[in-house]
Structure 1
Amino acid sequence: MKLETKQEFRQWMFQVLEPLKPLYSQGCARLHLGDTGVTYPKTSIEMEAFSRPLWALVPFWLGGGSGFEEIYQKGLLNGTDPAHPEYWGGFGDYDQKFVEMAAIACSLIFTPEKTWEPLGDQGKENLANWLYGINEHIIPDCNWQFFMILVNVALKKLGCRYSEESLASGLAKIESYYLGEGWYRDGGSSQKDYYISFALHYYGLIYAVVMEKEDPERCLRFKERATLFAGEFLYWFDENGAALPYGRSLSYRFGEAAFWSAYLFAGLDDIPVGVVKGIISRHLNWWMEQKMFDRDGVLTIGYSYPNLIMAERYNAPGSPYWGMKTLLCLGLPDDHPFWTAKGEALPELSSRKLLKQADMLMHRRGGDVVAYPAGVCETYGHGHVPEKYSKFAYSTRFGFSVARSQIVLHENAPDSTLAFVIDGDDYVFVRKYSDFYEVSEERVISSWHPFPGIKVNTTIVPQDYGHLRVHVIESQFDCVAYDCGFSVEKFTEEYEQKAEGEQSYIFQKKQGCKVSGKGPGAKGVIIEADPNTNVLYPNASIPAVSYRIKKGESVRLETMVTSFVR
């Protein structure tokens, strides 16, 4: 789809949201989109699905658009009316409904004529009282603080009861998350992922727009931090429009570019508007080329295709509509330069870029964007944490794989990692997190243990056509180590795979990967990964080299991974 004018961006939005219209409940407060399970009850699931389209509809209304108003006026009235059958109910600590309040709060801030004024006195009172409930319960010490902040800003702007204490404490916590150089941490998490861009910066820039008069110094800080972040976040985007598949919440899909809309919305222009427009338009069009909808046009859980294997425990049927945040650009006025600018290519970027605060080395080469992270992540999480944060390399063109199980290699699908199988056992052990790490512009070093009694020191060195891995291993067990390259899509044109001697390769028309190694018992192998393990394509194979590790010996392995894309 051509994405240049405001009308064309609106058409993109309607293509995503129109299929929802017949699925709203009779009272319009619920939206049933599927029957898969999640960690919160049905009421919250359907309230979430109701709320998330507002991330696009509010800027659409703000920018002069019309549509969906009656649904949301009716839904807000009934969902917050304790006497109505579709009432969303009260709250518990850490309630999912607090997350969904943020979009409603933004509607009250930016478009009160659509979602506040039509409600009448009783409806306004019910909605205000319901929103205030976020101040009466515990919320996580992370980006959720911004939900509480936005709700209280909305209530304050409307002259309703709000909590100055909650507003102040939430803002203080956000300040404590800032690391420097434009990067935050998400509360107590050490992981650097899209929550820095589409959560902490995104909400901070919204706050900077609406509270500039009341809180000018903080608003300026939020803008300055976003400007610093933008220069590094550019490196996560491919020239073809794809963003780096890395970390959790990838089912939010095109939300990966939400930061750039917030960047424009807050009036930031250090990066030319044409460059930002190019990023957003290419990104949205790249997603339209993926298989992200079901037969009725409803977004599915997954990444480039429907995939529950890679999902987190909080991915409900309506969760993917969080991606509508990228349509914040629809709130720009008709005379904003964004609407007349031509989408430009990315500026010339360094082939290597150290993102110090993200614990990551970026590598741009031959049409591919590769990230080498240090393996910094939590020892617990929402699902598939090692696969989403601790592989040696992540690619916009090859994606990454998640395990179907930890039993046998083909179910584990251990692409871009060193996988251990202890003699006499079928379990596969990989890097879960790094005990020590060091990232520079030349290499990434990490020390880790896949299993008690096995210690590994790994050095990743980018090369012109791939990267070199050097592992020093000490093991208290006899085992086999499989050093694996990128997953390559199979069942496609000109597909060829081969394992011989100390190397293996898989080539096809659009991409290929070769792995060669030096070390004890080095032998090329092909791992036929289970279907639906790679996030980009449903069928893939993995080239690898296996090594024989003997108990009590210190072993050095050298593995070269080369790849190409067309």
Structure 2
Amino acid sequence: MKLDTKQDFRQWMFQVLDPLKPLYSEGCARLHLGDSGVTYPKVSAEMEAFSRPLWALVPFWLGGGTGFEDIYQTGLKNGTDPDHPEYWGGFGDYDQRFVEMAAIACGLIFTPGKVWEPLDEKGKDDLANWLYAINEHIIPDCNWQFFMILVNVALKKLGRRYDKDRLKSGLLKIESYYTGDGWYRDGGSSQKDYYISFALHYYGLMYAKAMEAEDPDRCLRFKERAVLFARDFLYWFDENGAALPYGRSLSYRFGQAAFWSAYVFAGLDDIPTGVVKGIISRHISWWMDQTMFDRDGILTIGYSYPNLIMAERYNAPGSPYWAMKLLLCLALEDDHPFWKAESEELPELSEIKLLKQADMLMHRNGKDVISYPAGVCEKYGHGHVPEKYSKFAYSTRFGFSVARSQIILHENAPDSSLAFVIDGDDYVFVRKYSDSYEVLEDRVISKWHPFPGIQVTSTIIPVEQGHLRIHEIESEYDCTAYDCGFSVEKFTKSYEQKAEGEKSSVTYDTQGCHVSGKGPEAQGIVIEADPNTNVLYPNASIPAVSYRIKKGKFIRLETVVTTFING
């Protein structure tokens, strides 16, 4: 799929959003897309599904497009009318509806002629009062501060009651999250993931566009930080358009490249416009080759295919439409250089790149993009935190796996991990987080414990066609350690798996992974992972080497993981 002209991008937006039209409620304020559970009530889930398409529609309208206006004018009127049966309701602290206010606020800021001016006075009063409620409740100390900021900016610009103090305090909190070199932390979280790009930078650049006259110094800072961040973020993208599957909220799919649309929207060009266009176009094309829609054309929860196993507890049926943030580029005027530019390939990038602020090494290993993170994450979170942040390696071509359970290797699917099974038990223990770590120019060193009484120091070193792992282990238990390579797709052309001596491999005609080891009683094995554990493909096998660990002894293991890709 080739996207080049503004009309191409518009047509693609309609391809994604048109299947929603029959599913809006009679009063247009709610959108029921499925029945899977989430941590917030049905009204919030249906309001979320209503709101998230606005991330594409507002830029589309700003860029001169027409369509969906009647639905959203009617829905905004009814959803904020306390007397209407489709009223979205009042709030509690940490309310999900505060998240969804941001897209509405952007509509009021950038396209008031579409979502504000058509309302009668009562409709305007109801909408303004409903939005103002974000100032009367507790919101998390994280990227959610931007939802409050954008709402207050919108109310201020419309001449409505807003909270000057909350606006100021929110902006100060965002400033406190900045860690340097273009990177933020997401509030108190130590995790560095797509929330830095599609949340903190994205909203910062929208603020910069909206408030340049009123708050020029801050807007300039937001832009300067985005320029620095972009130089690092290039490394998260594959030449084929895929972005690195890493971290949480992967069900937002093509939102992974939303930063690049915000980049051009804010007028930034340190990265050539043709390169940015190439990233966005290839990214969309890559996603359109995946099976992310159901038979009715509705985005599903999952990543490369529908998959509730890998989802977070906050993923409702409408949540994936946050991905529409990618289409902020539709706001660009018809004669903008973005539309005139030819899509360009990525610039020449270093084979090994230290992203110090992200606590990871990036490795462009042939056609694969691999990240070696330090295992920095919250100890408790929204689901599958160790799998999404604490594996030794993440790959654009092999993805990663999430556990179906902590019992039995094939249910745990511990790819790119050192997994321990203590004698006499069936539980599988992996790196949940690092107790301490060091990320150097050529290696990542972490100290961690899979279980009290087992201490591990792991050193990950990129090498030609893969990486070397050195593990130093002291254990109070007799156990078996399984050093696992990448998951490899199963049931494919020329599929083959082998386990001989200290080696194992899983391959098919276009790619594969080989693992070899040195250590006590090293033995190659292949783990046939449970279905739907890998985020890229529903069936996978994992080459690994097992080692015997004796209690009370210092053990050193060396494992080499190599891959090949022929397409």
Please indicate, yes or no, whether the TM-score normalized by the shorter chain is above 0.5: yes
SS in 2 for 1:364: strand
Q: How big is the shift at 1:70?
A: 0.1
Give the Å deviation of 1:441: 1.4
* Aligned residues: CA RMSD: 0.3
Using the TM superposition, give the Cα deviation of residue 145 of structure 1 relative to its aligned residue in structure 2, in angstroms. 0.1
3-state DSSP of counterpart to 1:545: strand
Match of 2:176 in 1: 176
SS at match of 2:341: coil
* SS, match of residue 526 in structure 2: strand
Alignment of 1:286-325 (within 5 A): 286-325=286-325
What is residue 433 of structure 1 aligned with on the other side?
A: 433
Distance in 1 between the 2:428 and 2:439 partners?
A: 27
Q: Does 1:516 align with 2:490?
A: no
User: What is the letter of the counterpart of residue 480 of structure 2?
Assistant: V
Q: Distance in 2 between matches of 1:170 and 1:314?
A: 23
Matched residue, 2:275: 275
C-alpha offsets along residues 104-147 of structure 1, whole Å, 9 cap, x if unaligned?
A: 00000010000000011000000000000000000000000000
In 2, the alpha carbon distance for the partners of 1:15 and 1:158 equals 33
Q: What is aligned with 1:343?
A: 343
| Amino acid in structure 2 at the alignment position of 1:178 | Y
C-alpha distance in structure 2 between counterparts of 1:506 and 1:408, whole Å: 20
Give per-residue Cα distances to partners, 1:318-362, cap 9 Å, x unaligned: 000000000000000001001011000000000000000000000
* Alignment partner, residue 487 of structure 1: 487
Deviations 1:54-80 (A, max 9, x none): 000000000000000000000000000
* Matched residue SS, 1:282: helix
Deviation digits for residues 520-552 of structure 1, max 9, x if unmatched?
010000000000000000000000000000011
**What is the Cα deviation at residue 273 of structure 1?**
0.3
For 1:199, the equivalent position in structure 2 comes to: 199
The amino acid that maps onto 1:43 is V
Q: TM-score, normalised by structure 2?
A: 1.00
Tell me the amino acid that sits aligned with residue 433 of structure 2: Y
Displacement of 1:564 after TM fit?
1.0
1:500 matched residue in structure 2: 500
Q: Note the C-alpha offset of 1:509.
A: 1.1
Residues 179-212 of structure 1 show CA distances to partners (whole Å, capped at 9, x for unaligned) of 0000000000000000000000000000000100
2 CA distance for matches of 1:509 and 1:294? 29
Stretches of structure 1 lacking an aligned partner (at least 5 in a row) = none
The residue identity in structure 1 corresponding to 2:123 is: G
Q: State how far apart, in whole Å, the 1-side matches of 2:411 and 2:441 are.
A: 34
- Counterpart residue identity of residue 89, structure 1: G
The residue number in structure 1 matching 2:365 is: 365
Aligned equivalents of 2:530, 2:451: Cα separation in 1: 24
Paired residues for 1:332-411 under 5 Å: 332-411=332-411
Residue in 1 aligned with 2:84?
84
Aligned-partner residue type, residue 14 of structure 2: F
Secondary structure at the aligned position of 2:11 is classed as helix
Could you tell me how far apart the structure 2 residues matched to 1:164 and 1:151 are?
11
- Aligned amino acid, residue 452 of structure 2: P
Q: Indicate whether 1:329 and 2:329 are aligned.
A: yes
Q: Percent of aligned pairs with the same residue?
A: 82
- The one-letter amino acid of 1:531's match is P
Matches within 5 A, 1:447-486: 447-486=447-486
- Secondary structure at the aligned position of 1:171 is classed as helix
- Once residues 255 and 503 of structure 1 are traced to their aligned partners in structure 2, the CA distance between those partners, rounded to angstroms, is 39
In the superposition, the TM-score normalised over structure 1's length comes to: 1.00
SS of 2:415's partner is coil
Alignment of 1:239 with 2:239, yes or no, is yes
Q: SS state of the match for residue 292, structure 2? A: coil
Q: Which amino acid aligns with 2:526?
A: I
1:541, 1:508 → 2: CA distance?
11
Q: In the alignment, which residue of structure 2 is the partner of 1:20?
A: 20
Amino acid at match of 1:181: D
Structure 2 residues without counterparts, runs of 5 or longer: none
1:380-419 CA-partner distances (Å, limit 9, x unpaired):
0000000000000000000000000000000000000000
- Give 3-state SS (helix, strand or coil) of 1:516's partner: strand
* Partner residue in 2 for 1:111: 111
- Please give the alpha-carbon distance, in whole angstroms, between the structure 2 residues aligned to 1:274 and 1:282: 12
Q: Distance in 2 between matches of 1:520 and 1:317?
A: 48
Q: Which residue of 2 aligns with 1:533?
A: 533
Q: Distance in 1 between matches of 2:247 and 2:354?
A: 18
The code of the aligned residue for 1:409 comes to L
| C-alpha distance in 1 between matches for 2:88 and 2:454 | 51
Secondary structure (helix, strand or coil) at the match of 2:146 reads: helix
Q: Quote the Cα distance in structure 2 between the aligned partners of 1:452 and 1:565.
A: 39
Which residue number corresponds to residue 208 of structure 1? Answer: 208
Q: Deviations over 1:427-466 (max 9, x none)?
A: 0000000001000111000000000000000000000110
Tell me the equivalent position of 1:11. 11
Aligned counterparts of 2:30 and 2:167: Cα–Cα separation in 1: 29
Q: Distance in 2 between matches of 1:301 and 1:507?
A: 29
Residue type of the alignment partner of 2:515: V
Aligned mates of 2:17, 2:258 — CA distance in 1: 17
Using the TM superposition, give the Cα deviation of residue 565 of structure 1 relative to its aligned residue in structure 2, in angstroms: 1.2
Mapped partners of 1:75, 1:564: distance in 2: 51
Query: Structure 2: how far apart are the matches of 1:18 and 1:328?
Result: 18
Q: Can you list the C-alpha shifts for 1:35-88, whole angstroms capped at 9, x where unaligned?
A: 000000000000000000000000000000000000000000000000000000
Number of residue pairs the alignment of both structures matches: 566
1:423 is matched with which residue? 423
Task: Provide the C-alpha distance between the structure 2 equivalents of 1:495 and 1:355, rounded to a whole number of angstroms.
Answer: 35
Query: Secondary structure at the residue paired with 1:533?
Result: coil
SS at match of 1:161: coil
Q: CA deviation at 1:2?
A: 2.0
* Alpha-carbon distance in structure 2 between the residues aligned to 1:377 and 1:270: 31
Q: Which deviations, in whole Å up to 9, do the C-alpha atoms of 1:453-508 show, x marking residues without a partner?
A: 00000000000110000000000000000000000001000101000100100110
Give secondary structure in 1 for the equivalent of 2:552. coil
Distance 2:131 2:321 in 1: 21
Distance in 1 (CA, whole Å) between partners of 2:558 and 2:166 is 54
Question: Structure 1 runs of 4+ off > 3 angstroms?
Answer: none
Whether 2:65 is the aligned partner of 1:65: answer yes
Match of 1:545 in 2: 545
Paired letter, 2:162: Y
Partner Cα separation in structure 2 for residue 354 and residue 510 of structure 1: 29
